[in-house]
């Protein structure tokens, strides 16, 4: 019987990558490739740097996807998302880059990502990316992040 190898980051100490480009994203086989279902990752503490001011931008990132053959390994995803904290990029670039990288790695049936950024300069920016078609029979609820309403 062939021995299955585990992803390089799984179960091992790993330092925070210096940048998103340096981050390693791992995948694992989907044990149910014949079943349409959706998986969700919610990352409420996403940060990146404004490329103009250098100030931090904060967001909740919600990733929904319907896998085919591969699942994203969650530890590598956490490290990848955290690698943006010292990376200067606009909200749109962060959100779309994450979506494209996951699509390239996983080749899912469907993927959507919502980047819900906190206001800076008085205006929140929400960014959405979607690839593929939602599979019939897979429940995909609303991402659950309310629109910004200000205080009070």
Domain ranges of the chain: 23-67+96-111+120-132
Domain 23-67+96-111+120-132 has CATH 3.40.50.300: no
Cα–Cα dist 57/59, whole Å: 7
67-124: per-residue pLDDT in tens?
A: 999 999 999 999 999 999 999 999 999 999 999 999 999 999 999 999 999 998 788 8
What's the pLDDT at 150? 64
Cα–Cα dist 15/9, whole Å: 10
* Residues recognised as catalytic: 50, 57
């Amino acid at each position: 019987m062939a021995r299955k190898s585990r992803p390089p980051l799984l179960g091992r100490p790993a330092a925070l990558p210096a940048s998103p480009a340096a981050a390693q994203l791992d995948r694992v086989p989907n044990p149910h490739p014949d079943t349409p279902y959706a998986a969700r990752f919610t990352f409420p503490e996403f940060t990146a740097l404004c490329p103009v001011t250098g100030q931090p931008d904060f967001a909740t990132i919600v990733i929904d996807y319907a896998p085919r053959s591969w699942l994203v390994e969650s530890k590598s995803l956490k490290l990848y998302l955290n690698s943006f904290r010292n990376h200067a990029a606009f909200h749109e670039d962060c959100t779309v880059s994450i979506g494209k990288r996951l699509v390239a790695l996983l080749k899912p049936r469907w993927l959507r990502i919502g980047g819900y950024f906190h206001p800076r300069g008085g205006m929140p920016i929400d960014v959405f990316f979607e690839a593929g078609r939602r599979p019939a029979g897979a429940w995909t609820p609303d991402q659950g992040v309310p629109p910004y309403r200000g205080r009070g």
